[in-house]
């Protein structure tokens, strides 16, 4: 069973959007540090986590397998709680 629209049966548009939105997520996630709300720990952690997220998105767009899609799903579910935890830890330190 495929979940892509008929116009994008090979997934080019979907994976382009995944990469584009993930690349946009990285600078947005750095805004709390740029605005002075968090410190260096959060900044470098968010940068590292964002780059890891981009890497997994890129791998999924290259390989386009069910396994890579599942890995990307897990990464996306783990990313947000980890980045929030780092934000809290950064303020506590």
CA–CA dist 26, 47 (Å, integer): 7
The token pair at 83 is 């980045």
pLDDT tens figures, 3-43:
555 677 777 888 899 999 999 999 999 999 999 999 999 99
3-state secondary structure 13-63: HHHHHHHHHHHHHHHHHHHHHHCCCCCHHHHHHHHHHHHHHHHHHHHHHHH
pLDDT tens figures, 36-66:
999 999 999 999 999 999 999 999 999 988 8
Give the percent of the chain with pLDDT over 70: 92
């Amino acid at each position: 069973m495929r979940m892509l629209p008929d116009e994008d049966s090979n997934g080019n548009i979907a994976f382009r959007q995944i990469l584009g939105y993930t690349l946009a997520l990285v600078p947005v996630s750095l805004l709390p540090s740029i605005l002075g709300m968090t410190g260096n720990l959060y900044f470098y952690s968010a940068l590292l986590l964002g780059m890891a997220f981009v890497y997994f998105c890129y791998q999924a767009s290259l390989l386009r397998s069910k396994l890579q899609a599942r890995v990307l799903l897990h990464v996306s579910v783990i990313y947000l709680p980890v980045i929030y935890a780092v934000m809290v830890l950064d303020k506590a330190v």
